[in-house]
């Protein structure tokens, strides 16, 4: 490819951000599905399930934001 | 009320993004817009306009060069600290005045009881009450800094990686301190070796020490990227108005920005809660080891 390095950088940032969001969406979607099912089976523990779901979602998003930070660095340098 | 805030925010962005309009031609719009999100040596005050902050000469301490100049995020750090001190002192006074507090004591008590019953005691047990001041400070400090970025003319100090690095550093120190205090330094160092044969220690110990640093590092990146990501999206959406240079186009982005700002409000609370919860979780992990180690004469009642 004969693109300039900055153009490749922007392209990489865009593709990276898209893949990151796909990974995060799939992961947190599965997590939310399990949480919904657990709450439906046993409504009295719904509060604890919600707390654990939030913690797990935050941890997954933490990894997502690693990748997002790298994409932002790629896009702005 | 959110729309009022939105128009104020849009007005403040418009006021000195007029330069961005000119920059849009040169293709430098993104860089000009990000100037709002990153740290700067000037601060934008409501009626006074842009104020240049004093620069101090960099200080050289044994090979390190530290620049102590005041920047926007430093000013907001101080403001959040002052606000927290005033809030906490007045809440404590209101709580000490009468058994059932009213006003600001009532408001603070809801949060304090939440932090105690949902974050501190489940993770650390009754021994965790001595760390309640630290957890409360973390929670409220991060919350105030996050919320500062949502008001007009405000900046998110937690959107600066140095600030979150400082918070994560203190969390790291507290995690090690609580583990050493609960287990004793001998057991703490023994855990670093991982229970392998002593010939493997040169491999095991550096890996374990590195593992000690990953958790606060993740805390730092999580808080920083959550805060900065939301603001970059808001600023980029508002920048669309400058690309099209048409008043009619302003309707769409403003509604999107309204929605994203509500999400940002939720994320501000959530990230403060997550930082505090994970810190207390890691501290609790260090304490649980102590309970397992010296379990012979102990009776546990939960």
**Full DSSP string of B119-155:** IIHHHH-GGGGGGHHHHHHHHHHHHHHHHHTTSTT--
pLDDT in tens, B160-196: 889 999 999 999 999 999 999 888 888 888 877 777 7
Q: How far is the C-alpha of B268 from the C-alpha of B226, rounded, in Å?
A: 9
Q: Binning pLDDT at 50, 70 and 90, where does residue B271 land?
A: very high
CA distance B109 to chain A (A): 21
Q: How far is the C-alpha of B271 from the C-alpha of B223, rounded, in Å?
A: 6
Which residues, including other chains, have CB under 8 Å from residue B53's CB and lie 6 or more apart?
A: B41, B42, B43, B69, B70, B71, B72, B75
pLDDT (0 to 100) of residue B1:
47
Residue B262 inside a domain? The answer is: yes
Interfacial residues of B (vs A; Cβ cutoff 8 Å): 30-31, 34, 118, 218-219, 221-222, 224-226, 228-229, 232, 270-271, 273-274, 277-278, 281
Q: How far is the C-alpha of B244 from the C-alpha of B169, rounded, in Å?
A: 44
Shortest CA distance from B161: residue in chain A: A69
CA distance A1 to chain B (A): 23
- Which of A20, A65, A70, A75 is the best substitution to test chain B (most B C-beta atoms within 10 A)? A65
Match 């009619």 to its residue by tokens: B248
Residue B300 inside a domain? The answer is: no
Residue B30 inside a domain? The answer is: yes
Residue B302 inside a domain? The answer is: no
Q: Binning pLDDT at 50, 70 and 90, where does residue B39 land?
A: confident
Percent of chain B surpassing pLDDT 90: 31
Which residue in A51, A62, A75 is closest to B222 by CB distance? A62
Residue B28 inside a domain? The answer is: yes
- What sections of chain A are H helices per DSSP? 5-41, 46-76
The mean pLDDT of B143-161, rounded to a whole number, is 90
Query: In chain A, which residues have their Cβ closer than 8 Å to the Cβ of B34?
Result: 76
Which residue in B118, B229, B274 is closest to A58 by CB distance? B274
Structure token pair of residue A13 = 């940032």
**By three-state DSSP, how is residue B46 classified?**
coil
Q: Which domains does chain A have, with CATH numbers?
A: 9-76 (1.20.20.10)
pLDDT (0 to 100) of residue A62:
82
Which of B268, B155, B172 has the alpha carbon at shortest distance from B218?
B172
Contact criterion met (CB < 8 Å) for B225 and A54:
no
Which residue in A54, A59, A65 is closest to B225 by CB distance? A65
Structure token pair of residue B143 = 């919350």
Task: Count up the domains in chain B and report the number.
Answer: 1
Match 């309204």 to its residue by tokens: B258
pLDDT (0 to 100) of residue B14:
45
Beta carbons within 10 angstroms of residue A1's beta carbon: 6
Q: How far is the C-alpha of B65 from the C-alpha of B229, rounded, in Å?
A: 29
Q: Binning pLDDT at 50, 70 and 90, where does residue B144 land?
A: very high
Residue B11 inside a domain? The answer is: yes
What's the pTM value of the predicted model, to 2 decimals? 0.82
pLDDT in tens, B93-130: 888 887 787 888 888 889 999 999 988 888 888 888 99
For B182, counting Cβ atoms within 10 Å of its Cβ (0-12 exposed, 13-18 middle, 19+ buried), the class is: buried
- Which ipTM was obtained for this model? 0.77
pLDDT in tens, A6-58: 788 889 999 999 999 999 999 999 999 999 999 999 999 988 898 889 888 88
Residue B156 inside a domain? The answer is: yes
Residue B92 inside a domain? The answer is: yes
Q: How far is the C-alpha of B124 from the C-alpha of B283, rounded, in Å?
A: 7
pLDDT, mean over chain A:
88
Contact by Cβ (8 Å): B145, B228 = no
pLDDT (0 to 100) of residue B101:
77
Q: How far is the C-alpha of B165 from the C-alpha of B236, rounded, in Å?
A: 26
pLDDT (0 to 100) of residue A66:
82
Q: How far is the C-alpha of B35 from the C-alpha of B79, rounded, in Å?
A: 21
Q: Binning pLDDT at 50, 70 and 90, where does residue B16 land?
A: very low
Which helix (H) or strand (E) covers residue B221, if one does?
helix B201-244
Contact by Cβ (8 Å): B183, B290 = yes
Beta carbons within 10 angstroms of residue B202's beta carbon: 8
pLDDT (0 to 100) of residue B259:
93
Partners of B45 in the beta sheet?
A: B49
Which of B79, B90, B86, B20 has the alpha carbon at shortest distance from B45?
B79
In terms of residue numbers, what domain contains B150? Answer: 2-52+69-293
Which residue in B34, B221, B281 is closest to A62 by CB distance? B221
Rg (CA), chain B: 23
Which residue in B218, B229, B273 is closest to A68 by CB distance? B229
Q: How far is the C-alpha of B55 from the C-alpha of A45, rounded, in Å?
A: 55
Query: In chain B, which residues have their Cβ closer than 8 Å to the Cβ of A66?
Result: 221, 225
Query: In chain A, which residues have their Cβ closer than 8 Å to the Cβ of B32?
Result: none
């Amino acid at each position: 490819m004969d693109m300039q390095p900055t153009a490749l950088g922007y392209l990489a940032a865009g593709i990276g951000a898209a893949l990151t969001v796909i990974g995060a969406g799939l992961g947190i979607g599965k997590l939310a599905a399990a949480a919904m099912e657990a709450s439906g089976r046993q409504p009295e523990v719904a509060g604890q399930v919600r707390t654990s779901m939030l913690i797990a979602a935050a941890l997954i998003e933490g990894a997502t934001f690693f990748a997002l930070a790298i994409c932002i660095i790629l896009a702005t340098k | 009320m959110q729309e009022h805030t939105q128009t104020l925010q849009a007005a403040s962005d418009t006021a000195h993004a007029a330069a961005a309009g000119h920059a849009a031609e040169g293709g430098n719009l993104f860089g000009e817009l990000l100037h709002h999100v990153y740290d700067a040596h000037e601060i934008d005050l409501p009626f006074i306009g842009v104020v240049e902050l004093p620069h101090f000469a960099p200080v050289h301490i044994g090979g390190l060069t530290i620049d102590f100049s005041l920047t926007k995020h430093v000013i907001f750090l101080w403001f959040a600290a002052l606000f927290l001190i005033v809030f906490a002192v007045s809440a404590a006074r209101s709580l000490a005045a009468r058994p059932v507090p009213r006003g600001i004591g009532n408001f603070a008590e809801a949060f304090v009881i939440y932090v105690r019953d949902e974050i501190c005691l489940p993770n650390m047990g009754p021994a965790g009450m001595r760390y309640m001041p630290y957890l409360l400070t973390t929670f409220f400090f991060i919350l105030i800094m996050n919320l500062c970025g949502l008001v007009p003319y405000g900046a998110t100090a937690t959107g600066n990686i140095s600030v979150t690095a400082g918070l994560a550093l203190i969390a790291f120190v507290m995690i090690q301190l609580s583990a050493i205090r609960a287990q004793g330094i001998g057991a703490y160092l023994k855990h670093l070796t991982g229970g392998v044969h002593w010939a493997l220690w040169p491999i095991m110990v550096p890996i374990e020490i590195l593992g000690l640093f990953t958790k606060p590092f993740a805390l730092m990146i999580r808080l920083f990227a959550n805060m900065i990501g939301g603001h970059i999206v808001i600023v980029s959406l508002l920048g669309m108005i400058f690309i099209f240079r048409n008043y009619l186009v302003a309707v769409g982005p403003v509604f999107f920005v309204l929605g994203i700002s509500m999400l940002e409000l939720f994320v501000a609370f959530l990230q403060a809660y997550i930082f505090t919860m994970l810190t207390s979780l890691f501290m609790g992990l260090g304490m649980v080891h102590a309970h397992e180690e010296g379990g012979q004469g102990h009776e546990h009642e939960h």
